[in-house]
Structure 1
Amino acid sequence: MTDSNSYFIDVESSAELSRLIGQHRLFSQMYQGAVWPELPPEVVTRLEDVLDVSCGPGGWVLDVARQEHKRAVGIDLSESMIEYAQVQAREMGLENSAQFRVMDATQPLQFPDAIFDLVNIRFLVGFLPRRLHDRFFSEVVRLLRPGGVLRITESELGYTSSPALERFAQLLIQSLKAAGHGAGVPGPHMGMLLLLPHLLCEHGFEQIARSEILGEYSAGSPLHAGFYEDWKAAYKLSQPFFLEQGSITQAEVDELYEQMLSDMRNQDFLGFYDLVTYIGYKPEQNEANHTVSST
């Protein structure tokens, strides 16, 4: 994968656009409709301009504009994602408060210094190679006003009772690691949850806090159907990436895929998914107090 197309699924795929629309609804359900539940009210009050990096179809940006009445900008490498988001903004009458631009997050971002009060990032591990971490976080610092907020969310893909679904999770992790993504640590995890607080500290963020939401998507639960559709699409669309990395053969992945779907339809299926968010503040002054807390 090149820097300009380092996402592991075809960014112009209509099936991926549809999957991300559904995923946004799913995560909104997990967050009970809140766009930034980790932020204290006094912080939310002073936010005016917000950036969402790798915004996909723009659901989070539209929620910020509609629910929180903030000015929000979403950027994404995909022209089709941005076009879809712009249409949605116009139909909702939000084109003045929710704007979208095609932009490559692996390159210097095309904004002036100190223009945003909050930068939001989800699943950095999927689109940004490890060797670009420092450059990217330096860009985020540049874009934030003094006292501005970085909100970054990752997941380790949760836990399930399906050996096939667990195997797919490991295939994704192994393939992303082979492509130069993640924290670069050994073991069965991407390691981003270990790396993120250190990256934030190294780039001068202070008051670093961690929060976690664990959603159950076992059979019969309210989240089950949404996660079934998300994994069904995600692990179909990811198969070319797995094959490219040499992680599995086509015959093996076909068999594994059918078994995963069967497992998830089983009435005894159990599944949990975690969303872990780190919050960090750009100092008002040059000197920062680098501490990490959990909520």
Structure 2
Amino acid sequence: MRVPTPDDFRELETWGLIERPMAAVEAFSPEHEQRREDNERHRRKRREQEESVSEAFLDDTQAYYRSMERPIDRTKWDYLKRRKAWFHPPVGWERFAAPGVSRILDLGCGDGDQTERIAEFVAGRWRAAGYDGFPMEVVGVDLSESRIENARRHARSPHEAITLRFESGDAVAGLDYPDDYFDYTLALGLLEVLDDDLAEPVLDEVARLTAGGVYVRDLLDSMPGFHPRPDVDERLAERGFETRERHRVLEEPFVEEGTRDPLDVWPMNLHQVVFATATDPVPADERY
């Protein structure tokens, strides 16, 4: 990936996400899902993506991420933050800004770019309502020390009441937090890289840690080393979370040929976005 230019950032602005954060949800259609296979660029990028999957990743995803060394400069970090916003629509995020919410977990936070977006969304809702807000902590946890260092270096809180904190941790082994510690948990592209032997304990840990609700964004296309779970809503239901919204989105705006991403980062992969809330939430006054 080359260093993005101001023109590259301006192209992302034409995607309309500032005015319409749910643009990917609004634009999706089953027809586009099928027609992307006629896009030669999409097919090429899929081949490249499949061929670039490393043997180390296929052998042991946990060891792969734990040993990863992947520093990123600020310009690329900021571009990817805005680029990922297309396929991480803020479904259900308005609940994060509600009075009484004080702890949010971004599990598998990577470089922390979307963690910052979560905080920005909350701060934006507060400002739009003329509300000063209240103390809130948004915690990013990832297996990779290198990516946690990226997050600490680049992510910044958009509001004086919001603290961003990043730490390394392994959700498979369990995190050192009490039950129902977080109001909401997000898992962005986390479950997709875990087989069932790892994904099931992670879902159990998410359910243990989370009092209010869960947001999941995961790949639905088949890919070497990835594990699509179209039944993730059922798995959440088994753990006491009722799906409120579930959407399919493409990784970038649909075009007949080529791409609207000037850096040509990813193909038009298919993803799911799920927002589910606890069927029997523990009241805040019993947790704090």
TM-score using structure 2 length: 0.61
- SS at 2:271 equivalent: strand
Higher helix proportion: 1
Show the counterpart of 2:176. 110
Is 2:169 the partner of 1:140? no
**Distance in 1 between residues matched to 2:277 and 2:159, nearest whole Å:** 32
Name the residue aligned to 2:218. Answer: 154
What is the percent sequence identity of the aligned residues? 22
Structure 1 residues 4 and 29: alpha-carbon distance in aligned structure 2, compared to 1, 3 A threshold = closer
CA distance in 2, matches of 1:43, 1:92: 15
Question: Is residue 203 from structure 1 mapped to residue 239 from structure 2 by the alignment?
Answer: yes
Partner of 1:81: 147
User: Aligned partners of 1:280 and 1:29: how far apart in 2?
Assistant: 20
Q: Is residue 105 of structure 2 the alignment partner of residue 25 of structure 1? A: no
Indicate conservation of the 8 Å contact 2:247/2:274, yes or no. Answer: yes
Q: Distance in 2 between matches of 1:76 and 1:42?
A: 24
Q: Secondary structure at the match of 2:172?
A: coil
In 2 relative to 1, CA 20–122 (structure 1 residues): closer, same or farther, beyond 3 Å? farther
2:111–2:151 CA contact under 8 A, matched in 1:
yes
CA deviation map 1:57-76 (0-9, x unaligned): 10111122233135211011
Offset at residue 91 of structure 1 (A):
8.8
The answer to whether the 8 A contact 2:184-2:213 is kept is yes
- Kept in 2: contact 1:205–1:282 (CA 8 A): yes
**3-state DSSP of counterpart to 1:68:** helix
Instruction: State the Cα distance separating 1:93 from its structure 2 match.
Output: 8.1
Q: 2:253 aligns with which of 202, 210, 216?
A: 216
In the alignment, the residues of structure 2 paired with residue 94 and residue 88 of structure 1 have an alpha-carbon distance, to the nearest angstrom, of 17
CA positional deviation for 1:207? 4.1
Q: Which runs of 5+ in 1 are unaligned?
A: 158-169, 183-189, 232-270, 287-295
Return closer, same or farther for 1:44/1:96 CA change in 2, 3 Å cut-off: closer
- Measured in 2, the distance between the counterparts of 1:40 and 1:123 equals 17
Counterpart among 41, 44, 69 of residue 12 in structure 1: 69
The equivalent residue for 1:39 is 92
The match for 2:39 is: none
Cα distance in 2 between the residues matched to 1:2 and 1:150: 26
Deviation at 1:99, TM superposition (A): 0.6
Structure 1 residues 124 and 17: alpha-carbon distance in aligned structure 2, compared to 1, 3 A threshold: farther
Match of 2:178, SS state, is coil
1:121 and 2:195 correspond: no
What is the CA distance between 1:92 and its match in structure 2?
A: 6.9
**d(CA) in 1 for partners of 2:276, 2:63:** 28
What amino acid sits opposite 2:70 in the alignment?
S
| Cα distance, 1:142 vs structure 2 | 1.0
Deviations 1:95-146 (A, max 9, x none): 961110011232211222211111001123443231122221111111112x
Looking at structure 2, the residues matched to 72 and 55 of structure 1 have their Cα atoms a distance apart, in angstroms, of 11
SS in 1 for 2:109: coil
Contact 1:76 1:102 (8 Å CA) reproduced:
yes
Work out whether residues 86 and 95 of structure 1, in 8 Å CA contact, stay in contact via their aligned partners in 2: no
- Residue 49 of structure 1 and its aligned partner are, at CA, apart by 1.3
Equivalent residues of 2:116, 2:156 under 8 A apart = no
Residues 18/143 of structure 1: CA separation in 2 closer, same or farther (3 Å cut): farther
Amino acid at match of 1:55: C
- CA change 1:43–1:82 in 2 (3 A) is closer
Q: Distance in 2 between matches of 1:110 and 1:217?
A: 42
- After superposition, the C-alpha distances for 1:25-46 in whole angstroms (9 at most, x for unaligned) are 2121456xx6x2x217456414
Aligned pair count reads 209
Distance in 2 between the 1:274 and 1:28 partners? Answer: 15
Is the partner of 1:112 in helix, strand or coil? coil
Aligned partners of 1:114 and 1:85: how far apart in 2? 25
The DSSP-based 3-state class of the residue aligned with 1:107 is coil
Structure 1 residues 17, 136: closer, same or farther in 2, change over 3 A? Answer: farther
Once residues 21 and 62 of structure 1 are traced to their aligned partners in structure 2, the CA distance between those partners, rounded to angstroms, is 10
